[in-house]
């Protein structure tokens, strides 16, 4: 049995028939080849699979693909415009806000949601806003710097 | 010098921020089979029968493999344990492997495999394991020991070997002794004696173990894609288990999404057997729960320590006994642990030693400076207590007894040149220490601690080739752990004399690339850097000689400036590097290509020291501890890429806070892991990272490191838990003796218990 869904992914229309139990993250990674969203825990705790669904940061391992019917999804692959890095992508690279890079796509999309809600957050607000995304490499300090870098450029 | 010491962005940063980097779990192959493990729910059980019929009948299931399908190897480590035969010996021990057309079917089929177990009594704690009449985890004798400890800088394991084990589970007993302990205690004005415990913790790389085995369709071996710190270890392990020539196993390391010591060899030989049997590519990406249950966490320990000092500040005696719970296989880490416990400070009377016990738990692996955070927690908190009891300044007390180059380590071996004194002096002079009364007045406790990592050694080789576009290509085969490739490019640029942007790194596989050891033990830059520099210098010399023919000049009179060779001081007639390279790579060309090679064996260690200061707040009602500030002061020898060095220092310190306050692999009495998801296993999140996380780089050049560099990855995790413990004591007087220092443990210590 499959469910028919229509949605927009990174600005492009997508139509698919998916198993009802298919998770959004598997749909994105395996059916659409968008492997930027990583799987780290399967239980919505690490945040590596975070994507934007209608502008909200969503952990795509705990949402069914069927639930995304009619939605607009943005993954890390859809963040840069016209070949230019998004200020957050630039910031994470520039400020050494990444090391192994596994949490980075999810971290950037959570930060993107944070900046949409609060365009000029202070350090504490950034730390609170990114609590749902675990980074094991950096100690978070440079991630905070990266988000501030982007906030400045986006304002 | 221009390249070395310049903070430089990661070479591979763009694909990482764009999400286009391909991790192993992103790879696909035509006909790929997805593997899923069926694991034991019991810590110890007899496997009575395995019924695979229902699983095999499911559409999309290619095979269900059990031990009956595999060679019966005597297991000596996790790589050769394969699948459980008669007995499962830990919760998570794989008993079957499902191969299916997709992940979902593989998971369904794994659930449908019916295993009939007869649960048996399990050995779960150190106390159970060491009891003289204990049940043996290995009734037919303990299996062989792993090579991993050697990779992490352990000394000669056989040294100090003595005493016959009293329990069948006790192994790798050792002891380093010198002087007369009783005399040392008699001379002391204060003696502190305590028993410490540290929990098993998990490395918790966010990318789970992943590997893809692609068998050669002609039957000649396989290509292995693997997220590993040690491609050559994977090759050797697979070739060994399958009994095939090493050259038939070509291992391509994929980007490592965090390893921290855990990504050496695990299930790759099992997967290789499955792939070859079924002549289909097989991929296993572990789940987080499998990672928690069936990977290789860091060991739990019990450490008894007794130390004495005079009022003058002289350390007179140190005795430490350590028991390591190494899970189901010995880990050969006791000599390393003894070194870590008894080498940072000099005392004439000392005995440090310990043993390992095997238990019915997953065998342990390396985790960033294995055993060092535990050793520092014990030694540094006891020194702190002695300083308080004797009214000594804790920094001066450490400085007074500090080791230095040439003084003996616990084993008697002399220390190599190191910056222990320098990091302590930098700590003493730091404003955070100088102004500690202000922090105290604001309700925070201030603690300090020192951490050491002896450093690893290994031979390595590299090559450098000048390309027709004027860039320099560096050939190495190291797993790039968080920016090591970027530092290699900086070193090559410096040695050759061109802009780092003009250097590219080609990472070879185990069939095509020059040898390098595992990226572990803080030795990647230290061991691979020298051959890279040697290769780049040789390439430079060859380039100058080629240009000299054109200039009809002596190579000595030439220089490389802005990507071109010129007679010194004469830029008008410069020949671009690309032109030189193009002449060497064309039909009918008459000049040999530029190809420098480097080979080097680092045989002496470059110890790394890190001093830290922590400021904490303790809630006396709840026992909750918040870390507001950590200052990380580290001797990195020479910072090749300061941005990467600081990244290691900050990341290490936060992992240290995980050790200190949050992380614990908790087991029930019957060996069930109680923290099998990230909901129960608490990794530090962004709001738990100190708002002030400061780094101070100290540069005491190492004797043999590239440009004086030392390993930097491991030292910063070592002293954090001790610094936090000392800050807790400073804040409220409580001295918890168990890691992690959770609120109940802090409260208990506050109320006088331990």
d(CA B723, CA B643): 24
pLDDT on residue B87: 97
Q: A124 touching B, CB under 8 A?
A: yes
Best mutation target, B29, B206, B256, to test chain A (most A CBs within 10 A): B206
Residue of B nearest to A138 (CA): B651
Residues B5-15 have a mean pLDDT of 96
Q: Quick one: pLDDT band at residue B1, thresholds 50, 70, 90?
A: low
Q: Which residues have a Cβ under 8 Å from the Cβ of B127 and sit 6 or more positions away?
A: none
**The two three-digit tokens of residue A153, written as one number:** 């450029």
**The two three-digit tokens of residue B646, written as one number:** 């600081």
Closest CA to B207 of A137, A154, A131, A75: A137
Tens of pLDDT along B130-154? 999 999 999 998 886 444 444 444 4
Closest CA to B215 of B284, B286, B285, B271: B271
Q: A75 touching B, CB under 8 A?
A: yes
Burial of B595 (0-12, 13-18, 19+ CB in 10 A): middle
**Which residues of chain B are within 8 Å of residue A105 when distances are taken between CB atoms?**
17, 19
Q: A108 touching B, CB under 8 A?
A: yes
The radius of gyration computed from the CA coordinates of chain B, to the nearest angstrom, equals 27
CA dihedral for B288, B290, B293, B296, sign (positive or negative): negative
pTM: 0.96
Share of chain B above pLDDT 90, in %: 95
pLDDT on residue B753: 63
Q: A25 touching B, CB under 8 A?
A: no
Q: A94 touching B, CB under 8 A?
A: yes
DSSP structure string for A10-46? TTEEEEEEE-TT-BHHHIIIIIS--TTS--S-SSSSS
Best mutation target, A137, A143, A146, to test chain B (most B CBs within 10 A): A137
Residue B278 has pLDDT above 60, yes or no: yes
Residue of A nearest to B256 (CA): A100
Residue B159 has pLDDT above 60, yes or no: no
Whose tokens are 């003796």? That residue is B737
d(CA B754, CA B747): 10
Residue B166 has pLDDT above 90, yes or no: no
Helices of type H across B35-189:
53-56, 78-81, 103-112, 126-130, 148-151, 181-187
Query: Counting every residue, how long is chain A?
Result: 155
Least Cα separation, residue A64 to chain B (angstroms): 14
Asked if B18's CB is within 8 angstroms of A85's CB, the reply is yes
Rounded to the nearest 10 degrees, the angle between the axes of helix A104-117 and helix A87-94 is 120
Q: A141 touching B, CB under 8 A?
A: yes
Nearest to B643 among A75, A89, A96 (CB): A96
d(CA B492, CA B529): 9
Asked if B687's CB is within 8 angstroms of A100's CB, the reply is no
Tens of pLDDT along B566-594? 999 999 999 999 999 999 999 999 999 99
The phi-psi region of residue B42 (left if phi > 0; otherwise alpha if psi is between -120 and 50; otherwise beta) is: beta
Least Cα separation, residue B224 to chain A (angstroms): 20
Query: Counting every residue, how long is chain B?
Result: 754
d(CA B706, CA B710): 8
**Which residues of chain A are within 8 Å of residue B15 when distances are taken between CB atoms?**
101
Best mutation target, B10, B17, B716, to test chain A (most A CBs within 10 A): B17
Q: A46 touching B, CB under 8 A?
A: yes
DSSP structure string for B376-420? HHHHHHHHHHHHHHTT--HHHHHHHHB--TTSB-TTSPBPPS--H
In this complex, how many residue pairs, one in chain A and one in chain B, have their CB atoms less than 8 Å apart?
A: 172
Asked if A136's CB is within 8 angstroms of B17's CB, the reply is no
Residues B604-617 have a mean pLDDT of 97
Q: A96 touching B, CB under 8 A?
A: yes
CB B8 within 8 A of CB B500: yes
**Which residues of chain A are within 8 Å of residue B660 when distances are taken between CB atoms?**
none
d(CA B490, CA B471): 13
d(CA B292, CA B324): 19
Neighbours of B366 (CB within 10 A): 29
Asked if A142's CB is within 8 angstroms of B650's CB, the reply is yes
Asked if A108's CB is within 8 angstroms of B686's CB, the reply is no
Mean pLDDT of chain B: 95
pLDDT on residue B551: 95
Residue of A nearest to B202 (CA): A136
Burial of B593 (0-12, 13-18, 19+ CB in 10 A): middle
Residue B27 has pLDDT above 80, yes or no: yes
d(CA B655, CA B664): 12
d(CA A34, CA A14): 13
Asked if A37's CB is within 8 angstroms of B288's CB, the reply is no
Neighbours of B568 (CB within 10 A): 11
Asked if B482's CB is within 8 angstroms of A100's CB, the reply is yes
Q: A133 touching B, CB under 8 A?
A: yes
Residue of A nearest to B255 (CA): A100
Q: Which domains does chain A have, with CATH numbers?
A: 3-77 (3.10.20.30), 87-154 (1.10.150.120)
d(CA B389, CA B380): 14
Asked if A45's CB is within 8 angstroms of B687's CB, the reply is no
Share of chain B above pLDDT 70, in %: 97
Best mutation target, A141, A142, A146, A147, to test chain B (most B CBs within 10 A): A141
Tell me how far the alpha carbon of residue B677 is from its chain's centroid: 22
Residue of B nearest to A142 (CA): B647
CB B608 within 8 A of CB B671: no
Asked if B654's CB is within 8 angstroms of A140's CB, the reply is yes
**Which residues of chain A are within 8 Å of residue B104 when distances are taken between CB atoms?**
19, 21-22, 26
CB B55 within 8 A of CB B109: yes
Strands A72-74 and A3-9: parallel
Q: Which domains does chain B have, with CATH numbers?
A: 1-30+209-285 (3.30.365.10), 31-120 (3.90.1170.50), 300-456+604-750 (3.30.365.10), 458-601 (3.30.365.10)
Asked if A141's CB is within 8 angstroms of B16's CB, the reply is no
Q: Quick one: pLDDT band at residue B355, thresholds 50, 70, 90?
A: very high
Tens of pLDDT along B649-680? 999 999 999 999 999 999 999 999 999 999 99
Tens of pLDDT along A45-103? 999 999 999 999 999 999 999 999 999 999 999 999 888 999 999 999 999 999 999 99
pLDDT on residue B163: 45
């Amino acid at each position: 049995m499959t469910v028919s869904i229509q949605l927009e992914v990174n600005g492009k229309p997508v139509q698919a028939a998916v198993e009802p139990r298919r998770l959004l993250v598997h749909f994105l990674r395996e059916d659409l080849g968008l492997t930027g969203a990583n799987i780290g825990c399967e239980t919505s705790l690490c945040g590596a699979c975070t994507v934007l669904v209608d502008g909200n940061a969503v952990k795509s391992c705990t949402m069914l693909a069927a639930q995304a019917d009619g939605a607009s999804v943005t993954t890390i692959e859809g963040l840069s415009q016209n070949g230019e890095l998004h200020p957050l992508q630039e910031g994470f690279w520039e400020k050494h806000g990444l090391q192994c890079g596994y949490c980075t796509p999810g971290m950037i999309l959570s930060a993107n949601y944070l900046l949409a809600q609060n365009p000029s957050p202070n350090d504490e607000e950034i730390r609170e806003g990114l609590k749902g995304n675990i980074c094991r490499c950096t100690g978070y300090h440079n991630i905070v710097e990266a988000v501030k870098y982007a906030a400045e450029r986006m304002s | 010098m221009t390249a070395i010491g310049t903070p430089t962005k990661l070479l591979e940063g763009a694909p990482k921020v764009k999400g286009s980097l391909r991790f192993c779990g992103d790879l696909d192959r035509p006909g790929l089979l997805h593997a899923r493990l069926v694991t034991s729910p019991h810590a110890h059980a007899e496997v009575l029968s395995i019924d695979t019929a229902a699983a095999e009948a499911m559409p999309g299931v290619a095979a269900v493999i059990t031990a009956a399908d595999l060679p019966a190897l005597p297991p000596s480590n996790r790589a050769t344990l394969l699948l459980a035969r008669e007995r499962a010996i830990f919760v998570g021990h794989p008993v079957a492997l499902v191969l299916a057309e997709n992940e979902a079917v593989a998971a369904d089929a794994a659930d449908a495999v019916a295993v009939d177990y007869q649960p048996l009594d399990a050995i779960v704690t150190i106390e159970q394991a060491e009891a003289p009449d204990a049940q043996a985890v290995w009734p037919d004798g303990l299996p062989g020991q792993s090579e991993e400890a050697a990779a992490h800088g352990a000394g000669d394991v056989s040294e100090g070997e003595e005493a016959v084990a009293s329990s069948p589970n006790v192994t790798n007993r050792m002891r380093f002794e010198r002087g007369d302990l009783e005399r040392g205690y008699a001379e002391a004005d204060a003696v502190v004696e305590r028993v410490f415990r540290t929990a098993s913790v998990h490395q918790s790389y966010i990318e789970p173990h992943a590997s893809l085995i692609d068998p050669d369709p002609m039957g000649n071996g396989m290509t292995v894609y693997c997220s590993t710190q040690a491609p050559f270890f994977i090759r050797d392990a697979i070739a060994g288990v399958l009994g095939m020539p090493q050259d038939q196993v070509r291992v391509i390391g994929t980007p490592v999404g965090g390893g921290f010591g855990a990504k050496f060899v695990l299930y790759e030989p099992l997967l290789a057997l499955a792939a070859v049997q079924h002549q289909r590519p097989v991929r296993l990406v572990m789940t987080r729960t499998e990672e928690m249950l069936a990977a290789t966490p860091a060991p739990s320990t019990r450490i008894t320590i007794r130390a004495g000092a005079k009022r003058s500040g002289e350390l007179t005696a140190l005795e430490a006994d350590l028991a390591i719970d190494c899970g189901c296989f010995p880990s050969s880490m006791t000599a390393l642990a003894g070194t870590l416990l008894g080498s940072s400070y000099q005392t004439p009377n000392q005995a440090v030693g310990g043993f390992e016990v095997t238990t019915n738990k997953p065998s342990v692996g390396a985790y960033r400076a294995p055993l060092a955070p535990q050793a520092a927690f014990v030694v540094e908190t006891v020194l702190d207590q002695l300083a308080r009891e004797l009214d000594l300044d804790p920094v001066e007390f450490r400085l007074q007894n500090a080791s230095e180059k040439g003084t003996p380590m616990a084993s008697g071996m002399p220390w190599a040149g190191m910056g222990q004194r320098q990091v302590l002096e930098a700590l003493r002079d730091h404003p955070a220490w100088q102004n500690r009364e202000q922090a105290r007045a604001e309700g925070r406790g201030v603690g300090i601690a020192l951490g050491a990592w002896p450093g690893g050694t290994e031979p390595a080789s590299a090559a450098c080739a000048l390309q027709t576009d004027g860039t320099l290509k560096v050939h190495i085969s190291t797993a790039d752990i968080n920016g090591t490739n970027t530092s290699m490019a900086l070193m090559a640029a410096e040695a050759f004399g061109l802009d780092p942007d003009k250097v590219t790194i080609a990472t070879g596989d185990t069939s095509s690339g020059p040898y390098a050891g595992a990226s572990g033990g803080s030795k990647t830059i230290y061991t691979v850097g020298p051959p890279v520099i040697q290769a780049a210098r040789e390439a430079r010399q060859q380039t100058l000689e080629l240009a000299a023919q054109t200039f009809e000049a002596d190579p000595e009179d030439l220089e490389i400036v802005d990507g071109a060779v010129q007679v010194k001081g004469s830029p008008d007639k410069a020949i671009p590097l690309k032109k030189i390279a193009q002449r060497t790579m064309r039909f009918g060309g008459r000049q040999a290509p530029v190809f420098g090679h480097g080979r080097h064996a680092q045989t002496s260690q470059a110890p790394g020291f890190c001093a830290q200061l922590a400021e904490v707040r303790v809630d006396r009602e709840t026992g909750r501890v918040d870390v507001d500030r950590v200052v990380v002061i580290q001797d990195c020898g020479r910072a090749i890429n300061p941005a990467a060095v600081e990244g290691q220092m900050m990341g290490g310190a936060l992992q240290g806070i995980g050790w200190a306050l949050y992380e614990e692999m908790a087991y029930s009495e019957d060996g069930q892991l109680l923290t099998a998801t990230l909901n129960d296993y608490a990794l530090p999140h962004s709001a738990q990272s100190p708002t002030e996380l400061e780094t101070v780089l100290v540069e005491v050049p190492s004797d043999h490191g590239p440009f004086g560099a030392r390993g930097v990855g491991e030292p910063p995790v070592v002293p954090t838990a001790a610094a936090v413990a000392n800050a807790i004591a400073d804040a409220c007087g409580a001295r918890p003796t168990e890691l992690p220092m959770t609120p109940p443990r802090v409260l208990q210590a506050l109320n006088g218990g331990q």
